Structure 1
Amino acid sequence: MTYTGSGSVDIHAVEGVQPPAALRQFDALLLQPGSHSLAGTSGVRAGQNPIGLTGTTVEFRRATGVIQPAAGGTWPSNAGPYRWLIPSVVNISLAPASAQTRIDMAAVELSDTDVDLSGARIAQPVIYTGTPGSGVPPTLPEDAVALATFSVPVAGAPTMTRIHKPVIAVGGIVPVASQTERDALVTPWDGLTVYRKDTDVFETWNGIAWDVMARTKTAKVLSGTVAVTPVTSVSDPAFAASYYRGTSAVSFPVGFFSTAPNVTISAVASVPGLVIEATVTGASTTGFTANLARSSTSATTLSWIAVENG
């Protein structure tokens, strides 16, 4: 408004002012894509631990995140992602135990009077009390993000399971618990990279399928030779004559393998037919036993390779 010398007021339109929904839709540009082009994904900012449990008291800690309301009910499809903030610790007690075990849920719930006519514009911590004996948590409202579930027994202390997912910027690596969770992501785009917690591998979508791009645990390989002299005579009806057996212990460097490797062994012989078999027994993180069966008592070199998969 501009006041004139005569005391009248000129009113001018203010250019460039955007409605709240449009500003939220711009936020979608920065977030891991949701169900459509103007949507983000709900979660807690990566690296935060937003919730704790002491006895029957749930502690909502200082945290930030995103709520993308589910469309189709109260919320329109173009609502855009809402940023939320818990600026200080909030403690809420779980409801008293019931005659049957129940599962409760902790979440951050959104109110926006422009949409739900609630008279408020806030996101605040809430606990939804489950149905005793149902074995499942309450249904998450369309305008909330889940943080944890609580198993509340008939007697004894409740236990907590964190279920919140991280908010990832668009283009960032998305952590997923399993292939099922990976496949539940929105339609992948070329270059989308996920970290599979179940397999410790990084996978990238190439436009057709998922490629393994890197492993956090690489295969460990060790190889060597061992000489075995067969000295024990064995009579076996399967053979026309007696043959001889021998063994030799092989030790791995201390601490090289963390799990028992797969060991393959073969004999080095210049004349075919003299070696009956070479086998491995007792493979462990510390070593194995090399076994040789031969038609004579000649010392024989065995080559071996041990591989611990990543």
Structure 2
Amino acid sequence: MTTYATRLQNGTDTAVRMRMADATMLHAPATGVGGRTGFRNDSGGIVNAVAGTMNVTCSPFTAWVDGGTSDAQGGYPVINDSTATLAIAPGDATQARVDIVAVVINDHAFDGSGQTNCTLTVIQGTPGGGTPALPVTCAPIRAINIPAGLSAGTGGLSSGNMGTDYRQYLPNGILRVASAAERDAANKSARGDVVYRVDLDTLEVWNGSTWRSYQPYRDSYKGRISRAAGQNFASTDQVVIDFSTVDYNTGMTVSAVTNRIDANVDAVYRITAGGTWAVNNTGRRILMLKKNGTELLRSNYANVTNASGIFLTWEGPLVAGDQLTLEGYQDSGSTLALANAYLAVAEVR
């Protein structure tokens, strides 16, 4: 066993010890040493076809490639400081092929390869053989799908040949920003990056196209509609409740109108609803929550002899554009009123 700290004395830190030390600042892999392979941000390492040719380009990037031979190997900071152009071999005459653009590290001291270098390269697949095997110390970037017979003379590469994006990303901390302007001026990294907005006292997460307000568990109402006065229901009629008041309407997460609440973003929501049926000792009293006209949940009382509060709660995912309505039904044989009805939506996460 060797326990050591780097930078204690001049000239005592080897390259491997420095790599191991650098990894202490990175997200750990499955083992207790090293660091997770990943790219610094999603604007780096973008692979695109040079249309009409058999070349692809790879944008500048910084990355960390963890050693794959031994836990004692450490990892390697990698920099590609300018756009690189890589040649793709023409397609096989009869079978398709998959190539992968990747960063490959050869370190003879650990892998016995006879080489000590770092290359941005194309790992060529076998025609008809699927995705090629990767070297042990490697950061795959993107797959290139090569149909049979493809060459510059037959039209070359296009965006349609760009396959799976294999980039993983290095974890970033939460960036403190004073305002939306400071947030937007910061270089956006990968989906899931988070900023703390000082002006709003809230977190925002980048989803790949926009910043979204984010809390690990919100459980705060975003929309609520209600009706204090009774709404009459003829026996055996099933009717959408006509709410008279919009109590809350954020306009962002949901949109509330007098007869429904619409989800504006994909999220997990908690919906609560209720009301009070008038007295009748015959038949059923039902409250139904519907999404886009399809029932999600119902609450059902029967043969009540006094005014009956009826309630329901549902939690689950909704997608932008989903419409929530509340319907009532009773079959007492007489007209009954449902009073104090409400429908409320909270965004959970």
Normalising TM by the smaller chain, what interval?
Answer: 0.5 to 0.7
Q: Is the 8 A contact 1:229 1:299 kept in 2?
A: yes
Cα pair distance change 1:292/1:112, threshold 3 Å: closer
1:299 Cα shift?
Answer: 3.6
Q: Is the 8 A contact 2:223 2:346 kept in 1?
A: yes
The DSSP-based 3-state class of the residue aligned with 2:121 is strand
For residues 278 and 36 of structure 2, the distance between their equivalents in structure 1, rounded to whole angstroms, comes to 66
Query: Equivalent of 1:30, from 21, 25, 35?
Result: 25
Q: TM-score, structure 2 length as denominator?
A: 0.57
Match of 2:232 in 1: 229
Where does structure 2 lack aligned partners over 5 or more consecutive residues? 1-8, 151-156, 176-189, 193-204, 208-214, 256-261, 293-321
Please say if 1:277 is aligned against 2:269: no
Match of 1:183 in 2: none
Match of 1:127 in 2: 122
Match of 2:65 in 1: 67
Match of 1:247 in 2: 239
Task: Give the AA of the match of 2:60.
Answer: R
**Superposition map of 1:70-149 within 5 A:** 70-71=68-69, 76-98=70-92, 99-115=94-110, 121-135=116-130, 137-149=131-143
**Superimposed CA distance per residue, residues 177-222 of structure 1 (whole angstroms, 9 cap, x where no aligned partner):** 9xxxxxxxxxxxxxxxxx9x9xxxxxxxxxxxxxxx8158977452
Match of 2:166 in 1: 163
Give the RMSD, CA atoms, in angstroms: 3.9
The DSSP-based 3-state class of the residue aligned with 2:263 is coil
Q: Is the 8 A contact 2:219 2:270 kept in 1?
A: no
Q: TM-score, structure 1 length as denominator?
A: 0.64
Cα pair distance change 1:272/1:28, threshold 3 Å: same
Bigger strand fraction: 2
**Superimposed CA distance per residue, residues 59-79 of structure 1 (whole angstroms, 9 cap, x where no aligned partner):** 1221111111212xxxx4311
Question: Which 4+ stretches in 1 moved above 4 angstroms?
Answer: 113-121, 215-221, 251-255, 259-267
1:95 Cα shift?
Answer: 1.8
For residues 104 and 216 of structure 1, the distance between their equivalents in structure 2, rounded to whole angstroms, comes to 44
Q: Is the 8 A contact 1:228 1:247 kept in 2?
A: no
Cα pair distance change 1:19/1:264, threshold 3 Å: closer
Task: Give the AA of the match of 1:290.
Answer: E
1:91 Cα shift?
Answer: 0.7
Aligned length: 246
Q: Is the 8 A contact 1:39 1:81 kept in 2?
A: yes
Query: Equivalent of 1:303, from 318, 341, 345?
Result: 341
**Superimposed CA distance per residue, residues 124-175 of structure 1 (whole angstroms, 9 cap, x where no aligned partner):** 211111122233x111101211111122223674122211111236x889x9
Where does structure 1 lack aligned partners over 5 or more consecutive residues? 1-13, 178-194, 198-212, 232-242
For residues 222 and 268 of structure 1, the distance between their equivalents in structure 2, rounded to whole angstroms, comes to 17
Q: Is the 8 A contact 1:283 1:289 kept in 2?
A: no
For residues 70 and 15 of structure 1, the distance between their equivalents in structure 2, rounded to whole angstroms, comes to 29
**Superimposed CA distance per residue, residues 63-115 of structure 1 (whole angstroms, 9 cap, x where no aligned partner):** 111111212xxxx4311111111122211122212322222111011133544
The DSSP-based 3-state class of the residue aligned with 2:216 is strand
Query: Equivalent of 1:153, from 136, 147, 158?
Result: 147
**Superimposed CA distance per residue, residues 26-84 of structure 1 (whole angstroms, 9 cap, x where no aligned partner):** 1122111134333122121134431222234221221111111212xxxx431111111
Cα pair distance change 1:247/1:116, threshold 3 Å: closer
Structure exhibiting the larger radius of gyration computed from Cα positions: 1
Match of 2:216 in 1: 214
Q: Is the 8 A contact 1:267 1:275 kept in 2?
A: no
Identity percentage of aligned residues:
18
